[in-house]
Amino acid sequence: MARLHAPRDGAQRAEARTGNNELASFMDWRQRSPQTMGDTKASLDIKEFPDSEVHQTRVLTLKEWQDKWVTGNTTFHQEKGNQLLKKHLETFLNGQSGLRVFFPLCGKAVEMKWFADRGHNVVGVEISELGIREFFKEQNLSYSEEQLAEIPGATVFKSSSGNISLYCCSIFDLPRANIGQFDRIWDRGALVAINPDDRKRYTDIILSLLRKGFRYLLAVLSYDPTKHAGPPFYVADAEIRKLFGTKCSISCLEKVDAFEERHKHWGIDYIFEKLYLLTEK
């Protein structure tokens, strides 16, 4: 039985919460000069750490992720959306309309609304029900919710407009729901949030969801992994090639300095965001 939820004043509250700090950090982002790269070879000017040097043994449970939402420890969320995606949106869409776009580990990413507003169909998966409810509330969208027969305990939340469906379950259970294939995948805060030992399983699911002619944008973070255990976990250029290289052509579109004050607490002194475009081989 589906339950209906009408929006209240969520958008206004979200705006009020944004405040001046967010504006300041956005201005700060804009003032940094992006370094553009033509291909992955150019990424070698950021030190790459081989597996033998990367000891990211930290493992996060689903409960720990859910608790982050309960305690409001969600600094990964970008209120204004991801600026690299904004910049490369046209390359990503490639002039096509009516696309199916998948958001793995979606949180309450505002970019889901960007695509829905352009008439695309958005599907996300997120383990935190709170995160999903916050998304609809803050985007001022009414929605219904329905239990999934195929996955015990899982729920799908659908916008009343019908073009946003968010599955509340682990991505590792999602294949049982048969959600079909996708033209586009936006992977930010997703591969990098997966425990390193689960990456291959994650990649297999992602590859199974890609439809012919797909475009898959993957954002990762490059920092010194001997100084911070993650998450976000360090994913080397070589690892991306190993995981996706047999099925995908991979190019690095851009890298930008992503260092913020909060990163000092991680014990690191640099961090770059790298954006990869994966296409059919």
Ligand X SMILES: C[S@@+](CC[C@H](N)C(=O)[O-])C[C@H]1O[C@@H](n2cnc3c(N)ncnc32)[C@H](O)[C@@H]1O
Contact 115, 96 (CB under 8 A): no
Residues that bind ligand X (CB under 6 A): 62, 65, 76-77, 105-107, 109, 125-128, 131, 170-172, 188-190, 193
Give the residue from 214, 204, 156, 210 showing the smallest Cα distance to 3: 156
CB of 38 to ligand X, least distance (A): 26
DSSP state of 47: P
**Residue number, 210 or 221, with CB nearest to ligand X:** 221
Element holding 146 (H helix, E strand): strand 143-147
| E strand map for 11-61 | 35-36
Q: How far apart are CA 37 and CA 154, in angstroms?
A: 41
Question: Smaller CB distance to ligand X: residue 171 or 206?
Answer: 171
Rounded to whole angstroms, what are the CA distances from 281 to 23, 247, 249?
40, 6, 5
Residue 188 vs 255, nearer CB to ligand X: 188
Tokens of 175: 């294949």
Is the Cβ of residue 42 or residue 76 nearer to ligand X in the bound state?
76
Least separation in angstroms between CB 173 and ligand X: 8
CB of residue 156 to ligand X, shortest distance in Å: 13
Sheet holding 121-126, edge to edge: 3-5, 143-147, 155-159, 164-168, 121-126, 100-103, 182-188, 210-222, 272-280, 248-257, 35-36
Question: Least distance to ligand X from the beta carbon of 109, Å?
Answer: 4
57 or 249: whose CB is closer to ligand X?
A: 57
**Closest separation between CB of residue 76 and ligand X, Å?**
4
Contacts of 218 (CB under 8 A, 6+ apart): 187, 188, 191, 240, 275, 276, 277, 278
C-alpha–C-alpha distance, residues 8 and 86, integer Å? 28
| Shortest distance, position 19 Cβ to ligand X, whole Å | 19
The residue among 65 and 223 lying less far from ligand X, judged by its C-beta, is 65
Q: How far is the CB of 254 from ligand X (least distance, A)?
A: 17
- By C-beta, is 1 or 233 nearer to ligand X? 233
